[in-house]
Structure 1
Amino acid sequence: MSSTMPPDLQARPPKSEFLRSLAQGVVIGAIALAIAIPWMRAHPLHQTPEVSAPAAAPEVSAPVRPAVPVPPTHPAAPHRLADFRGVHVSAAVREVANWSFYTGDNHGHSVVILDKKAAMVYALDPSGRLVSSAPVLLGLAVGDDAEPGIGDKPLSQIRDDEKTTPAGRFVAEPGENTQGEDIVWIDYDLALAMHRVIKGTPAEQRARRLASPDPNQRRISFGCINLPPAFYDHVLSPAVKKTGAIVYILPEIKTTRQVFGSWDVTQPGAHPPAGTGVRTAAASARGKPARAYRENPAAAGSAATAQ
């Protein structure tokens, strides 16, 4: 009885053939390694560099846009306004002060403004800041012009209607009267000065008038501006000597535009009035001898009797 092998066993190669194939595979693998290893040593694999995560992009803010400058409404120089530090002043005082500093009409000097209607004086430093204010005694008569030749008239010949404190723009200058007393000249030729209040005659009662709240009571002088001694000594005189001062005596009949050529610089579109200009300053007192002012007690015919 012949035995027959199962089909799956019949398909298997003989064992010796299997081993021979395995040995051939090992030999081929060894040959491949012998070839590959020298080549790999000559050509090492490059390591891939570590790549760190990208840093967060810096925040980019929107570009700052500069403010668009507002073009000046007025053509002039420093563009500075007066600072009265909360002190109430008339519209005319504020307008002239603002105009002076805004346009540079003060030329870097202190500014002194005399409000004849209120019989008050205001002193501002060169930056436009109010230093002090004070009541004053003024010319008896209402008016903005000086009588021709008034500076050479004896006081006894000056009529009441000629006793005006003229309006205008003046360059203040230190000086002295014939008694050797220091004064501030406003107009040398007109014998117009600012000085400490004088006693005057008993009937004039100048000290009482200076203390009166009524501006009309402070109209008594021949035209000069009488000041409280403290204001003269500590405000006016130092300003004139240290920084120089421009004095604006405001009109009481004419307009400020007529006298100074000023305008309200705070108004949009404001401009100098046509055909006007700053009045020239009075004749300088420099180099001229001491002379009597309109209320010098030693002047012939003076109504004043003593300092």
Structure 2
Amino acid sequence: MRISPSTAQDIRHGVLIGAAVLTLLMPPGSLAPPSADRGLASAVAAQRPTPVPDFGAVDASASSRELVHWIARTGDNAGMPFFLVDKQAARLHVFDAGARLQHTTPVLLGSAPGDDSVPGIGERPVAQVLAHERTTPAGRFVGRFGHTLTGEDVVWVDYEAAVSMHRVRPHLQPAERRAERLASATTADNRISYGCINVPAAFYEAHIQPVFSRMSAVVYVLPERKSLRQVFGVMA
């Protein structure tokens, strides 16, 4: 369940990039910003050295590496730290603004494969969401800190579709064994949610809450059926 952060009004995010301030006018969970904003980000990026992506010792997927190199080259993260969800690997990677990997963790994702949310799904009660509709949408989102009706803090990824990034909640439906799924060595059992991104509680509190409680950050969700170019635009 969800309520609108700041009463569902758009919030202006001022982002300092070198000597320029980039303002993103986006509702929570919006996809890519207007072309003018991306054009400004690209113009600013051209005036600074291109960051060199660094995955450290993590064996990230080819799609993850391709997208992060594109982000670094184009400045698509608009000077913000960013979070990358690799659905096929069922992992979340946390990068600083310079495209250097800081942390990584397994995550739980929507039980249904697919890259798009069903229109209007965010307005439906959870009990009315059908099995094939439980997808984690792919795309570029500006995540924002907020709260559910129960008072739990979450990061709204796609607010309109009621998709958030939050602590795993193993106590709500013990039969789903969500904590055990996160700890298992395989990714085959990581598809269990209604579309939200479930993160280990300790990881959320150490590496997600501190970032989003003070600023917005970009969340990239890799596709599993579409191509990177279909979801994120020109990658060359």
Fold shared, TM-score > 0.5 on shorter chain: yes
Matched, 1:93 2:64: yes
- Supply the distance in 2 between the matched residues of 1:211 and 1:262 (Cα, whole angstroms): 36
Work out the percentage of aligned pairs sharing the same amino acid.
Answer: 48
- Supply the distance in 2 between the matched residues of 1:243 and 1:92 (Cα, whole angstroms): 27
Equivalence for 1:204: 176
- The one-letter code of the counterpart of 1:192 is V
How large is the Cα RMSD of the aligned pairs?
1.6
Matched, 1:121 2:92: yes
Equivalence for 2:202: 230
- The one-letter code of the counterpart of 2:174 is P
TM-score after normalising by structure 1: 0.60
- Supply the distance in 2 between the matched residues of 1:223 and 1:230 (Cα, whole angstroms): 21
Structure 2 residues not aligned, in runs of 5+: 1-41
Say which structure, 1 or 2, has more relative contact order (CA 8 Å, 6+ apart). Answer: 2
- The one-letter code of the counterpart of 2:128 is Q
Deviation at 1:243, TM superposition (A): 5.0
Equivalence for 2:110: 139
Equivalence for 2:13: none
For residues 43-102 of structure 1, give each alpha carbon's deviation from its aligned partner in whole angstroms, at most 9, with x where no partner exists.
xxxxxxxxxxxxxxxxxxxxxxxxxxxxxxx99634223111121100100111111121
- Supply the distance in 1 between the matched residues of 2:120 and 2:73 (Cα, whole angstroms): 35
Q: Quick check: 1:169–1:247 contact (8 Å CA) kept in 2? A: yes
Q: Quick check: 2:145–2:216 contact (8 Å CA) kept in 1? A: no
Matched, 1:84 2:44: no
Q: State how many pairs are aligned.
A: 191
- Supply the distance in 1 between the matched residues of 2:211 and 2:66 (Cα, whole angstroms): 22
- Supply the distance in 1 between the matched residues of 2:166 and 2:215 (Cα, whole angstroms): 18
Query: Which structure has the larger Rg over C-alpha atoms?
Result: 1
Structure 1 residues not aligned, in runs of 5+: 1-73, 264-270, 272-307
3-state SS of 2:84 partner: strand
Matched, 1:213 2:190: no
The runs of at least 4 aligned residues of structure 1 exceeding 6 Å deviation read none
Deviation at 1:188, TM superposition (A): 1.3
Compare the two structures and name the one with the higher strand fraction.
2
What does residue range 3-82 of structure 1 map to in structure 2 within 5 Å?
Answer: 77=46, 78=48, 79-82=50-53
- Supply the distance in 2 between the matched residues of 1:124 and 1:243 (Cα, whole angstroms): 15
3-state SS of 2:164 partner: strand
Q: Quick check: 1:82–1:129 contact (8 Å CA) kept in 2? A: yes
3-state SS of 2:188 partner: helix
- Supply the distance in 1 between the matched residues of 2:162 and 2:122 (Cα, whole angstroms): 5
- The one-letter code of the counterpart of 1:127 is G
- Supply the distance in 2 between the matched residues of 1:241 and 1:129 (Cα, whole angstroms): 21
- Supply the distance in 2 between the matched residues of 1:175 and 1:262 (Cα, whole angstroms): 32
Candidates 202, 220, 227, aligned match of 1:248 = 220
- Supply the distance in 2 between the matched residues of 1:122 and 1:83 (Cα, whole angstroms): 12
Q: Quick check: 1:126–1:243 contact (8 Å CA) kept in 2? A: no
TM-score after normalising by structure 2: 0.77
- Supply the distance in 1 between the matched residues of 2:165 and 2:61 (Cα, whole angstroms): 22
Equivalence for 1:180: 151
Equivalence for 2:229: 257
3-state SS of 1:169 partner: strand
